[in-house]
Amino acid sequence: MNRSNSSRYLKLFLLVSLLIALLLAACGDDDDDNGQAATPEATEAAEVTIGLSVSTLQNPFFVSLQEGAEAAAERLGVTLVVEDAGDDADQQTTQIQSLIDQGVSVLLINPVGSDAVVAAIEAANEAGIPVFTIDRSASGGEIVSHIASDNLAGGKMAGDYLAESLGKTGKIVELQGIPGTSAAEARGAGFNEAMEAYPDMELVAQETANFDRAEGQTVFAQILEEQDEIDGVFAHNDEMILGAIEAAKEADRAGDIQFVGFDAVEDAITALEAGDLLATVAQQPAEMGRLGVEAAVAYLNGEDVEDFIPVDLALITK
């Protein structure tokens, strides 16, 4: 091979080597950019989406629950998607299925009805999405944990306080929440357990008002027409007791009746301070929301989570 050919081949070899080196460097730069775009931990956190299905956001109690969940989600750096079922069990089922289809990481459910929500929970189970219930429990399906107050103890607390305030004697009315919900069943059971200890306390009416203020007013107005003597009223939530107070005022009988509610919402505290309400059992809905999100994230991170996470209650009086 002559000198000119050798020189030409050497130049060609150097050129090819340079091109290969540039290509390898470019690939290496892409890997570095991808590596710095997000660490594995950051990517995992960013991909966590929690679906929160709330029975109704027309009730300030559940608005507080949502706010507690939102604050926790923001602090933990996860996405929270909230759906308001509007107290419609069928709508809640549809909304939960939509959250499943979106591929949420975990579901927090505050059921409209304990039985009605089971099919939706089972659909989540089949999709491999862990489910937590908040405030109200479900009758079936696989649940990681239930976050709630002890509603049975709260109902008993309310009954005992009403009885003591009336000197352990009197005619009593119970306004009940949505049939089939765990909160209504447990609060009612606790209240009635308390009443059994006072033989001179007579339950003259037990009517459903579906946790709704307007229904509470309408239902109690009818009871007032039917009952000449009523000494005390316990309602399964503050919305109903506030409606009952309005009905009693319209009938000019509010001064003769002691009223006890449940939830300690803002309007109930105002009524208590005004002397219209004897007492209310305070839950901590924002705390429920916070604990729900924290428990969900802990579970996704492989931590152990208790089957039941209790939230403290307190009796609020003037």
Place of tokens 């927090």: 108
Which domains, ranges and CATH numbers included, belong to the chain? 42-148+286-310 (3.40.50.2300), 151-282 (3.40.50.2300)
Report the alpha-carbon angle 277-208-118, nearest 5.
115
Give 102-123 as a DSSP string.
HT-SEEEE--S-TTTTHHHHHH
The alpha carbon of 41 is separated from its chain's Cα centroid by a whole number of angstroms, namely 28
| C-alpha–C-alpha distance, residues 256 and 248, integer Å | 9
Residue range 108-153, pLDDT digits in tens: 999 999 999 999 999 999 999 999 999 999 999 999 999 999 999 9
Q: How many helices (H) and strands (E) does the chain have?
A: 11, 12
The pLDDT of residue 234 is: 98
Dihedral sign for Cα atoms in the order 71, 74, 77, 78: positive
Reply yes or no on whether the pLDDT at 7 is more than 80. no
Q: Residue 265 — very low, low, confident or very high, per pLDDT cuts 50/70/90? A: very high
The single-letter DSSP state of residue 253 is -
> How large a percentage of the chain has pLDDT more than 70?
86
Amino acid found at 45: A
What is the helix (H) or strand (E) element at residue 52, kind and residue range? strand 49-54
CA distances from 48 to 73, 78, 293 (A): 10, 5, 11
| C-alpha–C-alpha distance, residues 223 and 31, integer Å | 74
Considering only CA atoms, which of 171, 193, 233, 184 is closest in space to residue 212? 184
Give 20-62 as a DSSP string.
HHHHHHHHHHHHHHHHHH--HHHHHHHT-EEEEEES-SSSHHH
Report, in angstroms and rounded to the nearest whole number, the Rg of the chain calculated over CA atoms: 30
Q: How large is the average pLDDT for residues 60-65? A: 95
Reply yes or no on whether the pLDDT at 95 is more than 80. yes
Reply yes or no on whether the pLDDT at 197 is more than 60. yes
The pLDDT of residue 137 is: 95
Amino acid found at 90: D
Q: Which residues contact 32 (CB under 8 A, 6 or more apart)?
A: none
Reply yes or no on whether the pLDDT at 269 is more than 50. yes
Reply yes or no on whether the pLDDT at 30 is more than 80. no
| C-alpha–C-alpha distance, residues 108 and 140, integer Å | 15
Residue range 270-313, pLDDT digits in tens: 999 999 999 999 999 999 999 999 999 999 999 999 999 999 99
Residue range 224-260, pLDDT digits in tens: 999 999 999 999 999 999 999 999 999 999 999 999 9
Q: How large is the average pLDDT for residues 9-23? A: 46
Q: Residue 318 — very low, low, confident or very high, per pLDDT cuts 50/70/90? A: confident
Reply yes or no on whether the pLDDT at 200 is more than 50. yes
Q: Which residues contact 315 (CB under 8 A, 6 or more apart)?
A: 157, 158, 161, 279, 280, 281, 282
Reply yes or no on whether the pLDDT at 15 is more than 90. no
Place of tokens 């309005």: 246
Which SS3 state, helix, strand or coil, does residue 210 take? coil
Tell me if 246 sits within 8 A of 274, measured CB to CB: no
Q: Within 10 Å of residue 240's Cβ, how many Cβ atoms?
A: 30
Amino acid found at 122: E
Reply yes or no on whether the pLDDT at 188 is more than 80. yes
**Strand ranges across the sheet with 49-54:** 79-84, 49-54, 106-109, 131-134, 145-148, 308-310
